[in-house]
Amino acid sequence: MGKRNLFKNHIFNVLIFFTGFSAGVILIWPGILTIDNRKCFFDILKDGSDGKVSLGTILSIEPNYLLKINNAETTYNKLLLIGDHCFRG
């Protein structure tokens, strides 16, 4: 197998990976395609990045998600819960 074919295979594999990854994210969070939902997600992240969250942001999150986010053990789980709130709700 030549270098050219190997390069084509790598490009094809990367393309398949990103297509599958994108489809998976869209299936899990269908609201990720709308601008308002992405704005919700990034606003919450930006507001909480300094460790302090404004009252407006706290009131914009449903109480059950707020409790789940507060009780999450890792930052990754907190991001998933914020994504659930903005992209599924």
**If you write DSSP's letter for every residue of 53-85 in order, what string do you get?**
--HHHHHHS-HHHHHHHHH-SSHHHHHHHHHHH
Task: Specify whether 18 is located in the same domain as 38.
Answer: no
Task: Specify whether 47 is located in the same domain as 62.
Answer: yes
Task: Specify whether 65 is located in the same domain as 43.
Answer: yes
pLDDT for residue 15: 97
pLDDT for residue 1: 62
**Structure-token pair, residue 24:** 């998976």
Gap between the Cα atoms of 51 and 13, Å rounded: 39
pLDDT for residue 56: 85
**Structure-token pair, residue 22:** 């994108």
Domain count along the chain = 2
Task: Specify whether 55 is located in the same domain as 88.
Answer: yes
In order along its 89 residues, the chain shows pLDDT tens digits of 678 889 999 999 999 999 999 999 999 999 999 999 999 999 988 888 777 778 888 888 888 888 888 899 998 998 899 999 999 86
Task: Specify whether 23 is located in the same domain as 63.
Answer: no
Among candidate residues 39, 34, 26, the one with its CA nearest the CA of residue 82: 39
User: What is the extent of the structural domain holding 19?
Assistant: 1-30
